Structure 1
Amino acid sequence: MPELYDTAAPRKATNLSVNSDLLTKTRALNINLSATLEKALKEELGKRRASQWTEDNQAAIKSYNEFVEQHGCFGDEFREF
Structure 2
Amino acid sequence: MTKQERIGTRKATNLSLDADLVADARDLGINLSRACEDALRKEISAERGRRWQEENKDAIAAWNDWAENNELPLDKYRQF
Same fold (TM > 0.5): yes
Q: Who is 1:10 aligned against?
A: 9
Task: Give the CA deviation at 1:72.
Answer: 2.5
Whole-Å separation in 1 of the counterparts to 2:79 and 2:17: 56
Are residue 30 (structure 1) and residue 29 (structure 2) matched? yes
Whole-Å separation in 2 of the counterparts to 1:10 and 1:78: 48
Q: Who is 2:41 aligned against?
A: 42
Note the alpha carbon deviations across 1:12-46, whole angstroms, 9 max, x for none. 10111111111111111111001100000001111
The equivalences for 1:61-72 within 5 A come to 61-72=60-71
TM-score (norm 1): 0.84
Larger relative contact order (Cα-Cα within 8 Å, sequence gap ≥ 6): 1
Whole-Å separation in 2 of the counterparts to 1:51 and 1:72: 29
Task: Give the CA deviation at 1:73.
Answer: 1.5
What are structure 1's unaligned runs of at least 5 residues?
Answer: 1-6
Whole-Å separation in 2 of the counterparts to 1:27 and 1:79: 53
Letter aligned with residue 76 of structure 1: D
Instruction: Specify which structure has the higher proportion of helix.
Output: 2
Whole-Å separation in 2 of the counterparts to 1:13 and 1:33: 13
Q: Who is 1:52 aligned against?
A: 51
Task: Give the CA deviation at 1:56.
Answer: 0.4
Where do 4+ consecutive residues of structure 1 move more than 2 Å? none
Question: Could you say what secondary structure the match of 1:41 adopts?
Answer: helix
